[in-house]
Every structure is written in C-alpha cells, then in structure tokens.
C-alpha cells in the first residue's frame, strides 16, 4: 500500500484517526499476519528512532535469525543514525538506507519493508506507528503507546483498519517467567490463594534521574530540525537551540512530549497488574509532586492506588515511581494472597516467592517435587527482645521460580512479533490489548493533580 505521507503532520494523524471500541482485557489476540510469500523469506526490517531504546531492541534481536535490515531513520544523523548504519554493517555486512525523516523513509522504502520498529519519543509513537501501518508495514512500537490516550486509540484504529500487526513493547508479556508465574502458579496451582493486594515500584536513585547531557552538542539536531519535529510542543514562546536540545534529550520531563515517570516506568508494571488480574481497575487515587526536581513539568515522585473487582473479590494495587531514591530495591511487582506471595521482576535477582505459614505445606512440597518451584529457605523467626511474639506473624518460607530466561529480556517479545508475522503465533500484546491495560495509567496524573478519586467509566478506558 503506497500513500503520500509527506503532507501529513503528527497532529493531522491524530485528528484524522477514529477511535475504536474496547475488548475484554486479557483475551488472546485474534490478529494474525498473512502467511509470507515464501516460508524461508527473511523478514525485512526498518527502524524509526535510533536512540537508547533502539539499542536495547537491537541487542535483543541481533541473534534472531531470518531478519534482513533494510533502512533506519533518526533526526540525529551523527552518532545515532550513523551508529545504527555501522552496527548493521558490522553484524551482517550489508548497507542500510539512511533517512532523517520517517515519512520519507516510509514513502521510499515501504515496498521493501515487512516490519518497522518504532523507538522514538512517546509523542511520536502514534504518528509513526499510524504512518507505518498505513504504509503496509507491521509495527513493533515501544511503550508507552502515546503521550495521550487519543494517540493510543488512533494506533488501535490504524491496526484494525489496515489489518497489519501492531505489537506494543510490554515485553514482560512474552517473558516465560511471567507467563509461567501467571498460568501455572497463579491460575492453575493457585499458590497465592485469593490475591487481595498488589504492590509495585520502580525506584531510581538521584544519580540515575539527572538531566541527560550530551558531550558533543554539535552532533545534536539543530533548532530548525527540532522545531520541525515538534520538540517545541507546549512551550511558551520561542525556545533557544539549547532549550530545544534539552527537550530532545530529556523529553520525558515535558508534559507535551511524554506522560512522565508514571507512564515511562510505571506502564510496564501497571500492565502486569492488569494482565495478571485479567481485568481493568475500577478506580484510581493518586498523589504526586515536584518534590526535588522542581523545574520539571512532570511529577518526580508519584504514588497511586488502583481498586479492582475480580471474580474472587475486591483487590487493590499500590504503585509508586520515585526518582529520588533507590530504596526498596529497584523494580518489581508483588502479588499478595492469602496463601502466598509472588514478587516478580524482569530482574531475576528481584524475584522471590513466599509461602504463608498457614498455607498447605504438603501442597507446596509437592510443587517442589514436581519441579514447579525451588525451595530456597525456611522462614527464620527474627527473635530478639523487641519481638512481641503474640503479635508477629510466623515468617514465610522462601521459594524461587524453577528456571529463568537465557536471552535478553526483550528478545522473546520480538521473537513473538516475528512469529506472528510468519503466521506461526498470535501477538502477546497487540495494540488493542496494550491500550486496555495502559488506559488506566493515563488517569494517574489527572487524579494526582485533582486530588480526587477517578471512578473509571467506559469513556475513560475504552480502546
């Protein structure tokens, strides 16, 4: 499908895209790609966005066979676009076409591309994804889908309209450790009992939350380029080149360019709450503040509580994203039930499973015998003169998942995308299901701003 993309702007894409209706969250994707022309054909891939997240994707896909790299695009020609060009050349010996404009790349290269990877700033996700889908390419787009729910809905609409695949980068959905924990331990063996509470966090130390500064400012895009590509969005008055370049490097701090930490970091984990619960929350309350980084547009620290109605009863999830402390040990999602707790993270080191002292020990021993769990340690009472025995709960035994992932965390999700293109699998996180999971996240910042509970309706959450 060839269309003239050169006349369409990002804003026009959003306003011209119609909104789709929602489906039940958690249902498997019904989307499948058409069979390729020949089974042995390589999948021809292009990149839009060659920054840091692109590198993460590249490192996860470079070992996947059956891919031919064709073209790449980034507005930062030096260092980023050239690095991708060199990277592909070093790994595979072929030269890819280089573009600094995504519309031009798709206009000229769409016929040579089966799939496009979008790893641009959040405010470009929707326009780039819609462009690529309408140009006839399957799309893998990084999360958060868009900085606005309208943008995300336009992606779902474009996916439905074009019949092309659109995988969203919630890579935990394809991670065998997460799939095993959900399917086997929670749903089949019910090791948690009734899950009543969830807890998640992504805490980053100040040292990891500072403004990004680029050592070679001469290699950054100039003011004219950055204005052309919308990095002045939402600004009052004319921005200097230095201010625009700060926005280019630190787009996550600006409300017109991203959803801030709660969407940038929280999206991964709130997605897991919704996926594991198999439903969307019914409300959100939140608090946030510019507590340390007072000049940033987004909150630097956010805490929120989602309430759920599940088939087993009501439940709630607390989530915090803190950019001023690493306290609490990084990032994880915890599912706390009456019989046990699964604390899971993309990092195996942060993953732990605990059995409540009152849970059926014989059942857990049997799970260990069968190979579904590994027992790590028997709970040890802390003791000491400050312990009040009649109030303290008996310590839980500690267990672990029986195995891990032997490849980069993003690789299974990309493999799933390619398998779906070949017609061999269903997407684990197509745009519709991603939006059903992401939709509640769009309402955290408004809830924190208004200090009011938002009770979700179809209007809030529909895809």
Q: Catalog residues that contact other proteins under the rule CB under 8 A.
A: 176-177, 179-180, 183-184, 214-216, 370-372, 401-406, 412
At closest approach, how far in Å is the CB of 183 from other proteins?
8
At closest approach, how far in Å is the CB of 370 from other proteins?
5
State phi, psi for 288 to the nearest 5 degrees.
Answer: -155, 165
Q: Select 98 or 228, whichever has its Cβ closest to other proteins.
A: 98
Q: Select 176 or 395, whichever has its Cβ closest to other proteins.
A: 176
At closest approach, how far in Å is the CB of 416 from other proteins?
12
Taking the C-alpha atoms of residue 450 and residue 317, their distance in angstroms, rounded to an integer, is 20
At closest approach, how far in Å is the CB of 456 from other proteins?
32
At closest approach, how far in Å is the CB of 217 from other proteins?
9
- The residues that bridge with 352 in the sheet, in sequence order, are 343
- Say which DSSP state 338 is in: S
Taking the C-alpha atoms of residue 240 and residue 117, their distance in angstroms, rounded to an integer, is 31
At closest approach, how far in Å is the CB of 223 from other proteins?
20
Q: Select 233 or 419, whichever has its Cβ closest to other proteins.
A: 419
| CA separation, residue 92 to residues 95, 223, 330 (Å) | 9, 35, 36
Taking the C-alpha atoms of residue 307 and residue 228, their distance in angstroms, rounded to an integer, is 42
Quick one: tokens of 405?
Answer: 């992932």
Q: Select 77 or 101, whichever has its Cβ closest to other proteins.
A: 77
- The residues that bridge with 167 in the sheet, in sequence order, are 140, 430
The separation between CA 438 and the C-alpha centre of its own chain, rounded to angstroms, equals 9
Q: Give the three-state DSSP class for 98.
A: strand
Quick one: tokens of 54?
Answer: 């692109």
At closest approach, how far in Å is the CB of 185 from other proteins?
11
| CA separation, residue 437 to residues 8, 109, 296, 452 (Å) | 29, 33, 27, 21
Q: Select 42 or 184, whichever has its Cβ closest to other proteins.
A: 184
- Say which DSSP state 96 is in: P
Q: Select 214 or 312, whichever has its Cβ closest to other proteins.
A: 214
At closest approach, how far in Å is the CB of 325 from other proteins?
23
Considering all CA atoms of the chain, what is the largest pairwise distance in Å, rounded to the nearest integer?
76
Q: How many CB atoms lie within 10 A of CB 155?
A: 31
At closest approach, how far in Å is the CB of 394 from other proteins?
29
Q: Select 213 or 453, whichever has its Cβ closest to other proteins.
A: 213
Q: Select 46 or 412, whichever has its Cβ closest to other proteins.
A: 412
Quick one: tokens of 58?
Answer: 């590249």
Q: Select 184 or 243, whichever has its Cβ closest to other proteins.
A: 184
Contact 71, 47 (CB under 8 A): yes
Contact 165, 430 (CB under 8 A): yes
**DSSP sequence for 147-212:** SSHHHHHHHHHHHHHH---EEE--GGGG-HHHHHIIIIIIIIS-TT-SEEEEEEEEE--GGGSSPP
Quick one: tokens of 65?
Answer: 């066979």
Q: Select 148 or 179, whichever has its Cβ closest to other proteins.
A: 179
At closest approach, how far in Å is the CB of 463 from other proteins?
28
Quick one: tokens of 178?
Answer: 């997460």
**What SS3 string covers 198-231?**
EEEEEECCHHHCCCCCCCCHHHCCCHHHHHHCCC
């Amino acid at each position: 499908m060839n269309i003239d993309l050169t006349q369409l702007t990002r804003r026009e894409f959003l306003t011209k895209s119609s909104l789709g209706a929602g489906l039940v969250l958690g249902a498997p994707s019904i989307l499948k790609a058409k069979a390729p022309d020949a089974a042995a054909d390589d999948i021809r891939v292009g990149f839009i966005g060659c920054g840091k997240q692109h590198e993460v994707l590249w490192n996860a896909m470079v070992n996947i066979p059956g891919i031919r790299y064709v073209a790449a695009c980034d507005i930062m020609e030096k260092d980023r676009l050239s690095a991708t060009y060199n990277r592909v050349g070093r790994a595979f010996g072929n030269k890819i076409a280089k573009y600094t404009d995504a519309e031009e790349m798709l206009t000229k290269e769409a016929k040579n591309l089966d799939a496009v990877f979008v790893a641009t700033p959040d405010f470009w996700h929707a326009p780039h994804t819609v462009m690529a889908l309408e140009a006839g390419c399957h799309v893998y787009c990084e999360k958060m889908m868009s900085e606005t729910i309208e943008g995300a809905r336009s992606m779902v609409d474009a996916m439905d309209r074009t019949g092309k695949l659109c995988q969203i980068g919630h890579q935990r959905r394809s991670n065998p450790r997460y799939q095993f924990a959900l399917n086997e331990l929670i749903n089949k063996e019910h090791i948690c009992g009734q899950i009543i509470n969830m807890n998640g966090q992504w805490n980053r130390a100040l040292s990891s939350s500072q403004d990004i500064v680029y050592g070679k400012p001469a290699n950054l895009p100039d003011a004219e380029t950055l204005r052309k590509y919308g990095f002045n969005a939402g600004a009052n008055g004319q921005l200097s080149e230095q201010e625009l370049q700060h926005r280019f490097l630190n787009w996550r701090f600006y409300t017109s360019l991203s959803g801030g930490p709660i969407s940038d970091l929280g999206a991964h984990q709130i997605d897991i709450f919704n996926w594991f619960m198999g439903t969307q929350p019914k409300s959100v309350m939140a608090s946030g503040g510019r507590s340390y980084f007072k000049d940033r547009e987004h909150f630097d620290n956010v805490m929120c509580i989602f309430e759920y109605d599940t088939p087993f009863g009501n439940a709630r999830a607390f989530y915090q994203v803190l950019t001023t402390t690493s306290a609490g040990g990084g990032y994880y999602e915890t599912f706390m039930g009456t019989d046990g707790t699964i604390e899971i993270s993309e990092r195996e080191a942060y993953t732990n499973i605990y059995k409540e002292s009152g849970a059926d020990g014989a059942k857990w021993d049997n799970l260990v015998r069968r190979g579904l769990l590994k027992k790590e340690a028997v709970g040890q009472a802390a003791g000491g003169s400050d312990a009040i025995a009649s109030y303290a709960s008996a310590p839980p035994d500690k267990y672990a998942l029986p195995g891990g992932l032997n490849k980069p965390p993003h690789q299974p999700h990309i493999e799933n995308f390619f398998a779906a293109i070949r017609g061999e699998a269903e997407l684990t996180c197509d745009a519709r299901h991603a939006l059903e999971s992401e939709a509640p996240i769009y309402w955290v910042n408004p809830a924190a701003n208004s200090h009011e509970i938002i009770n979700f309706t179809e209007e809030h959450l529909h895809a």
